[in-house]
Structure 1
Amino acid sequence: MSGERKPLPFAVTFAAGAIAGISEILTFYPLDVVKTRMQLATGKTSMGLVGSFQTIIREEGFGRLYRGLVPPLLMEAPKRATKFAANDFWGKTFKKMAGEDTMTQNLSIVTGCSAGATESFVVVPFELVKIRLQDKSSTFAGPLDVVRQIVRNNGLLGLYAGMEATLWRHVWWNGGYFGSIHQVKALMPKTESQSGELFNNFLSGSIGGFIGTAINTPFDVVKSRIQGTAKVPGVTPKYNWTYPALATIFREEGPAALYKGFVPKVLRLAPGGGVLLLVVEFASDVFRKALGPPYI
């Protein structure tokens, strides 16, 4: 493919990100349910991945592994589209500011962090509803019931509970993901075939997903704790701001607690990151061929 091809229009980048996001979540959603359950469990001991799966299926039925699926499905299209569109926007902006013609490792990290911060504003309400539905003690009838009760009890701004923690979660994941993808791709041998290019994208995306997950899991644990606890008027929540909450969990439950849910999370986001990048690149290639020159 020529390096001179014209960048795809925003609408096309948006569509490719949406297709990729929906593909990823339909494939890996049960792992997200298990991850949330493990993160919401307080104390120094918790069930492992297999034990959590077995307990949910035995006590609540197989269908519980897909409870709360609607909010992520509604979220994934704008979330993933925003992620890649923002990454494209910030990448061009930072390259121009730095006077660079090509993306460097440092620019990739800064770009990823900025894209993550942008993305977080889109996902917070959906994440909040999802967490409330995934909780074992949840008695909500469905997504709309969650929204109604939150708005009634806390107002519209109640839908943005955990905004600060979500921002940090996405900043660190995107920084690790996009930053490492750039480095991994630079180290991989060049390939002339489309299948080889797709494999490279899957492998680099999987490595990026693993690194992003390793960096951001403590922030995800805090986000789940903040969003999983309903606010009581006049009572200061135990988990409120990100970094103090990290210190509280570390002190009360030990350092391992900051990585609760890491295994199901990385099992989802490492291959999920590969699937995400693979589908984005594949969809983008299809769109390029459909649009023809100068996009090919």
Structure 2
Amino acid sequence: MTEKPLPFVYQFAAGAVAGVSEILIIQLQGKPIPGQDYYTGMADCFKKIVKNEGPSRLYRGIAAPIMMEAPKRATKFAANDSWGVFYRRLFGVEKPTQPLAILTGATAGATESFVVVPFELVKIRLQDRSSAGKYNGIVDCVVKTVKAEGPLAMYNGLESTLWRHILWNAGYFGCIFQVKALMPKVDPKKEKGRAMFTDFTSGAIGGTVGTILNTPMDVVKSRIQNSPKVAGSAPKYNWAWPGLGTIMKEEGFAALYKGFLPKVLRLGPGGGVLLVVYTGVIDWFRKMGAQPVA
């Protein structure tokens, strides 16, 4: 029997704890810059960054993702659970199904995007070699971006971010549902170890599949957000799907998966960590007397 979800505030808090835990456990890794041929691979990227710029360069811009993870992951899980309740009521379904898991995940991803975009834009501009020297930190980046490009510039790349998170969350939550359905049933109250293994496995597979699905949109999004808007001229990368076409035409299909390896090595197991921590915190809230949604 599926337990009824807790109120939004508990889901949000559990998601926030899970997000911060993922960042602390799965360390952020530097990634090659889109269109940059200087690095031949992940190992070469690390070696050259440390040699030429020092170890601290690997963590430039890390404050932005750390600040982002709490609200981002909190929104992801809270929105997924809340939309799940909404869709089950809308379609008159008592229990979650595979199609509903995918639909709910996609909708949660769209919701999450509105929280993520400003943080992502700052992170990308701070981490990019060509523009990092322009900014002295997060606040300076925000101030200079708004001053030069206007307040709406903080939401530059919203459309591509929507697609990125819709695809990742649909794959993530859809896979979690399917993998759990295929694995042996466990009683989380009596078999905590096996329950955690099931959560980690399904979350890791979901994170991997989600990353495979959304990496091309992530590449396009980074290029859009790192292209300052100049009055009187149209940016090369402006919209997601035309941007995909431009990259494939000029650089080939493989260019859509630049930086895939370090990303999947983080988001694959990271997806497992997220689900384990989120489930654990929700269970703790239940033990503390939190009442489910009626």
Interval of TM-score (by shorter of Structure 1 and Structure 2): over 0.9
Structure 1 position 26, deviation (Å): 2.7
User: 3-state DSSP class of the match of 1:30?
Assistant: coil
Q: CA deviation at 1:41?
A: 2.7
Matched, 1:185 2:183: no
Task: Determine if contact 2:149/2:230 at 8 Å carries over to the other structure.
Answer: no
- Given that residues 220 and 243 in structure 2 are in contact (C-alpha distance below 8 angstroms), is that contact kept between their aligned partners in structure 1? yes
What is residue 105 of structure 2 aligned with on the other side?
A: 112
In the alignment, the residues of structure 2 paired with residue 119 and residue 152 of structure 1 have an alpha-carbon distance, to the nearest angstrom, of: 26
- Number of aligned positions between the proteins: 288
Q: CA-to-partner distance for each residue in 1:196-236, whole Å, 9 max, x for gaps?
A: 10110000000000000000000000001111222222121
Supply the distance in 1 between the matched residues of 2:251 and 2:39 (Cα, whole angstroms).
11
1:42-81 residue pairs with structure 2 within 5 A? 42=36, 46-81=39-74
The CA deviation at 1:265 is 0.7
Give the equivalent residue in structure 1 for 2:35.
Answer: 41
In the superposition, the TM-score normalised over structure 1's length comes to: 0.93
Q: Tell whether 2:254 aligns with 1:256.
A: yes
Rate the CA distance shift 1:208–1:294 in 2: closer, same or farther, 3 A.
closer
CA contact (8 A) 2:168 2:211 kept: yes
The superposition leaves residues 14-43 of structure 1 with CA deviations (integer Å, 9 ceiling, x where unpaired) of: 111000001112333432x32xxx242346
The Cα of 1:120 is off from its aligned counterpart by: 0.2
Scaled by the length of structure 2, what TM-score is found? 0.94
2:171 to 176, 180, 200: 176
After superposition, what is the alpha-carbon deviation per residue over 1:258-282, rounded to whole angstroms, capped at 9, x for unaligned? 0111101100100000000011011
* 1:48-70 residue CA offsets vs partner (Å, 9 max, x unmatched): 11111111111111111111111
Q: Which amino acid aligns with 2:26?
A: F
In 1: Cα distance, 2:291 partner to 2:228 partner: 53
Superposed CA deviations along residues 67-107 of structure 1, whole A, max 9, x for unmatched, are 11111121111111111111011111111122211111101
- Determine the structure 2 residue equivalent to 1:231: 229
In structure 2, the residue matched to 1:130 is: 123
Structure 1, residues 108-136: CA drift from partner, whole Å, max 9, x if none? Answer: 11110000001000110000000001111
User: 1:13, 1:294 → 2: CA distance?
Assistant: 11
Contact 2:80–2:104 (8 Å) recurs in 1? yes
Structure-to-structure mapping, 1:1-296, within 5 angstroms: 3=1, 5-31=3-29, 33-34=30-31, 38-42=32-36, 46-137=39-130, 138-139=132-133, 140-192=135-187, 193-291=191-289
Give, as a single letter, the amino acid of the residue that structure 2 aligns with 1:115.
A
Which amino acid in 2 is paired with 1:71?
A
Structure 1 residue runs of 5 or longer lacking an equivalent are none
The answer to which of 111-120 and 8-17 deviates more is 8-17
Gaps of 5+ in 2: none
Q: How far apart are the structure 2 equivalents of 1:245 and 1:62?
A: 33
Instruction: Tell which deviates more after alignment, 268-277 or 63-72.
Output: 63-72
